[in-house]
Amino acid sequence: MPLPSQKKGRVIFHIDMNCFYASVEMAHNPSLKGKPLAIAGNPNERRGIIVTSSYEARAKGVKTTMPLWQAKRLCPELIVMAPAFERYRAASTEIFRLLAEVTPYVQPVSIDEGYMDVTEISKKENPIDVARRLQQKILHQLDIPCSIGIAPNKFLAKMASDMKKPLGITVLRKRELHRTLWPLPVGEMYGIGKKSAEKLQEIGIETIGDLAKKDVYQLKAIFGINGERFKNRANGIDLSPVDPEAVFDFKSIGNSQTLIEDTTDKVVIRKLMNSLAEQVEKRMKRKTVVGKSVQLMIRYHDRKTITRSKKLQMYIDNKSDILLIAQELFENHWNKEPVRLLGITVQDIEDKHSIGQQLDLFTYEEEASKEKLYNTVNQLREKYGKHTFKQLKATEPSNTQPRTSFQKDFLDDYRKLK
């Protein structure tokens, strides 16, 4: 399917579900409506963390990522529920089905938000009317509120959808940025995290307007190519298309490598796994993605191949976590026969930016999840010695062949709609 023209005159929607998990629970059980509701990991434990909450709870100070004990102190009447993953997936599937009825140019970016290119439709009908009708259809059919941003590009549409919640429809026009976007604190700009905002403030950039006017060479000196991207976006420039196929580009990042000689030598195997995990981390950092599942491939001397994976309760993107899970899988599933090839893949990939503020599916309870990793480390250290996870030098094992990456094909929820 050819993408719409990227010339001037595009009309882009950003659809963002309001308090998605809480809204789905209210739709499932209407008696929860109007009450302070929070979705939290391990709700029966004091250290549980708030995943999302209703507006009634937020009015009492309850916020995403807040410890559960603190939320209950602020709001004693808070109703706390554990996440119902399949319920949220089912609701997301229905939402994107409704979006696809409006236009084929729909690009999901997370379970509860996506972009739509309605340029052709807007030639026949006012985009605000289209947005209002879609918003009401989702509300009436699924009982889930959403906000819609309307703009000439994806960045501005994303910023617009955040400006009015719940059930907001906001239009951002480039000619009005000096009064609608530029007065906002630079930390509220999509794509700029806390650390980047602090660096910008150190050079006198307090608002998005300050960023829009800043010398691009000074920005690039600090942020590299992202500095220019920051400035362009602050000026309302974003040429990226709404690409329905982008969701299928990759959902896993992995590397595999064949050993020159089949081996049972754990030193050689450990060095290879370290190298593979390092390469996977580099690719993930380059693509600015995180994942929540690790898969290990083992091919034996007789070419028999097995794959084993472990799904996590948090997103990871660093070598140490990737290597730890891969080593756990290896110790649990290696049959002691000579190994010909090893592969490590991180699956269930998501863009870091799309899981920033509202924790996306399974990203809650980071600290609790880390405890499982620590327990595994301790168990393996007890079995193989305290230096089991000693940092290895980033050198190529001398008896290996060039590595290749591999990916496991799969169909995600959205693809099933097509």
Within 8 A by CB and 6+ apart from 18, the residues are 55, 144, 145, 146, 147, 165, 166, 167
Of 329, 322, 375, 368, which Cα lies nearest the Cα of 347? Answer: 322
Amino acid at 93: T
Amino acid at 213: K
Can the peptide bond before residue 166 be classed as cis, meaning omega within 30 degrees of 0? yes
Question: Residue 269 half-sphere exposure, CB side, CA atoms within 13 Å?
Answer: 23
Say if strands 79-81 and 113-117 run parallel, antiparallel, or are unpaired. Answer: unpaired
Phi/psi for 267 (5° steps) reads -65, -45
Of 194, 204, 203, which Cα lies nearest the Cα of 222? Answer: 203
DSSP assignments along 120-137, one per residue: HHHTTS-HHHHHHHHHHH
For the chain, the first-to-last Cα distance in angstroms comes to 12
Between CA 94 and CA 100, with CA 98 as vertex, the angle to 5 degrees is: 115
Alpha helices in 235-265 (DSSP H): none
Of 82, 89, 124, which Cα lies nearest the Cα of 103? Answer: 124
Determine the Cα–Cα distance for residues 101 and 334; give it in Å rounded to an integer: 48
Active site residue 113: yes
Determine the Cα–Cα distance for residues 288 and 290; give it in Å rounded to an integer: 7
Catalytic residue among 113, 328, 350, 365: 113
Q: Return the residue matching tokens 């290597």.
A: 323
Amino acid at 27: A
For 274, the token pair is 């370290």
Of 10, 1, 16, which Cα lies nearest the Cα of 134? Answer: 16
The residues that are catalytic are: 113
